[in-house]
Chains A and B, each alone.
Chain A
Amino acid sequence: MTSVLGFFQAIPYEELLIQTVNGIVTGMILALIASGLTLIFGIMDVVNFAHGELFMFGAYMGVVVLAATGSFWLALLLASLIVALIGAALQITTLRPLLGRDPLTTILATFGISLVMQNYALWQFGPVARKIQEPFTGQFTLFHLQYPWYRVLIAALSAAIIGAFWLFLKYGTYGIWIRATTQDRVMAEAMGIPVLWVHTAVFAIGAGMAAASGVLFGPLVGVNHAMGLDWVLKAFIVVVVGGMGNLGGSIAASIFISLLEAYASIWVSPAQAVIVSFVVLILTLLFRPTGLFVPTPK
């Protein structure tokens, strides 16, 4: 009995709560990246290796626009738009010719894109990390910590963007086109939906969302050319754990995995906490390869 009590007393409740908040904040950023990725996979069987680089480009565009205009919100908006256009251009030039080929070739093509973009960023912006100034610096007290309001705002904004996107998918005409194409490409085409352009649009939307999360995340860490690599891996894990092509699942999985990593980093270093999410992925693939957050397939 005493050992049980001792166990419960040993749990650092304050740390747990702080890490819960942290986990949800990173989870929402991750969800913003992953929902684009999962949609791109769901609709055109493209495993987009370059998604992390779109995120990184977004952050850099944020830096550039912020330096030019001084407005964080304008930076967020413009960076998303610019990267969405870049995404559309990339899709038309490289992915459209690969339509109908083995999905594995799209991994190769997007891997090539990611190499090019990463080195382009290194070339343009140099190896020194850039900083995005956060739009406001208020803090509130969370136990022994001064917790920045900005982090809470990130979570709320990410949720708002994802929510708006979800509503668009559910009720917008074009959203319905997108869902129809995901369900049955051939039938959608037969109904007169311009499937090719739906693909481009989805890629652009996904790119824009990745860029938005890049700008939002920029103030928390430095912006550098390699920042996309960690995130694309995490986003892959999330997309698989949440069920490929499943929007709700990937949002749930983002928060789930970010929370696990946040809790793990109470005890081990953050670099090692990553292993937790790797293990979750492998267990998922072994026991429920269709994803954790989807109904059991019949």
Chain B
Amino acid sequence: MSKRSATVYWTGFCIVLALLIVAPLVLPEFWRRFLTEILIWGLLAMSSDILIGYTGMVSFGHSAFFGLGMYGAAAALLMVRPPNLWLAMLYGLIGSAAIALFVAYFSTRLRDIYFAITTLIFSQIFYVIIFTWTEVTGGENGLTFRRPPLEIPGLFSEPFTSETLHWFVLAVVTASYLILRRITQSPFGMVLQSIRENEPRTRAIGYAVDRYKIVAVMLSGLFAGLAGVLYALQNRFAAPDFVYFLVSGETVIFNVMGGIGTLVGPIVGAGFFLLLREAFSRFFTEYYLIPVGVIFIAMVIFMPQGLLGFMRRWLNQ
């Protein structure tokens, strides 16, 4: 890509980032929280974009990774005194990575719809386990816990405010974006994209396709788990509802609405979806999914590229 185009890209990146940094200072409390939530759901959607957009595998089981991240964080926050932010992240990531390895090992042997169904079923297995194992997971009621302070060991430690929480989430999401972007442009990412374009040929060239797929699913699961940890931090609870497959479905919706294979597209999609939800729940109260669902169907039919699909090439330079 040309140098000029890259300059434009990074300028755009900095402007958006700056806007997101300033946003909590000007927005009222409700919208501040809303923006943080968009970023968290966006991270979840972005993690599944690695599979949907770059490797060509549609996962319907991301709720499992997300949920395990939540419950991992919950475990750390409930068991270790005093609650520690970094330990919560570590536990969440270990939880989701372990699950992701398990799911990846089995599901990557299958393709297309079969992959989608297998991941869906796996997430339902974890849902049933979490839902029925009341002694450990709190069952239907889930777990509630206190939010740990924001601390850097040896430097400072202070309780989260809604601004610092937003900045913390923003930092994590931005770092994740940059890492994922780097990964998709690395030789490894190129192999993933060639699997998407033509799997038999990639295999014929001599790449161990199965191994690449397993790593892709694990990577994706890891970042989904990170999103789960952030969500747990924001809402101070973990509930089995977030492991249910409707969350995975919403993740796919975010991707399709925003544009797959763009990494930022899913974040935009999440924002678009949540805004639609907000707007329609004024008129339709809890039945907002009726108009949102209709819009989604229309987008699948008439706009399969999503909102940002037209700039896919430019975003991936």
Residues of A within 8 A of B (CB): 47, 94, 97-98, 101, 103-105, 107-109, 111-113, 115-116, 118-120, 122-123, 233, 236-237, 240, 269, 271-272, 274-275, 278, 281-282, 285-286, 289
Contact across chains for A105 and B304 when beta carbons are under 8 A apart: yes
Taking the complex as formed, is B45 at the interface, i.e. its CB lies under 8 A from any CB of chain A? no
Name A's interface SS.
helix
Contact across chains for A285 and B114 when beta carbons are under 8 A apart: yes
Known: A98-B301, A119-B289, A275-B125. A107 touches B116 (CB 8 A): yes
Name B's interface SS.
helix
Say how far A260's CB is from chain B's closest CB, in angstroms: 15
Contact across chains for B297 and A109 when beta carbons are under 8 A apart: yes
Say how far A184's CB is from chain B's closest CB, in angstroms: 20
Most buried by B among A116, A122, A233, A281: A116
A47: nearest chain-B partner, CB-CB: B113
Contact across chains for A237 and B121 when beta carbons are under 8 A apart: yes
Task: Report A-chain residues with C-beta under 8 Å of the C-beta of B252.
Answer: 108, 111
Contact across chains for A123 and B297 when beta carbons are under 8 A apart: no
What is the CA–CA distance of A112 and B273 in the complex, to the nearest angstrom?
Answer: 13
Say how far A84's CB is from chain B's closest CB, in angstroms: 20
Residues of B within 8 A of A (CB): 58, 60, 106, 109-110, 112-114, 116-118, 120-122, 124-125, 128-129, 131-132, 245, 249, 252-253, 256, 284, 286-290, 292-294, 296-297, 300-301, 304
Say how far A298's CB is from chain B's closest CB, in angstroms: 20
Known: A94-B301, A237-B121, A275-B125. A107 touches B113 (CB 8 A): yes
B302: nearest chain-A partner, CB-CB: A97
Contact across chains for A122 and B112 when beta carbons are under 8 A apart: no
A-B contact pairs, 27 of them (CB 8 A): A47-B117, A107-B58, A107-B60, A108-B253, A109-B300, A111-B252, A111-B253, A112-B253, A112-B294, A112-B300, A115-B289, A116-B290, A116-B293, A119-B288, A119-B289, A119-B290, A119-B293, A123-B287, A236-B117, A240-B114, A271-B132, A278-B125, A282-B118, A282-B121, A285-B110, A285-B118, A289-B114
Task: Report B-chain residues with C-beta under 8 Å of the C-beta of A240.
Answer: 114, 117
Say how far B149's CB is from chain A's closest CB, in angstroms: 38
What is the CA–CA distance of A123 and B256 in the complex, to the nearest angstrom?
Answer: 26
Task: Report B-chain residues with C-beta under 8 Å of the C-beta of A103.
Answer: 112-113
Contact across chains for B106 and A286 when beta carbons are under 8 A apart: yes
B252: nearest chain-A partner, CB-CB: A108
Task: Report B-chain residues with C-beta under 8 Å of the C-beta of A233.
Answer: 120-121, 124, 245
What is the CA–CA distance of A281 and B288 in the complex, to the nearest angstrom?
Answer: 34
Name the 3 nearest CB pairs between A and B, nearest first. A116-B293, A112-B297, A115-B293
Cβ contact of A286, chosen from B109, B122, B286, B300, cutoff 8 A: B109
Contact across chains for B297 and A116 when beta carbons are under 8 A apart: yes
What is the CA–CA distance of A57 and B142 in the complex, to the nearest angstrom?
Answer: 31
Contact across chains for B118 and A98 when beta carbons are under 8 A apart: no
What is the CA–CA distance of A278 and B122 in the complex, to the nearest angstrom?
Answer: 8
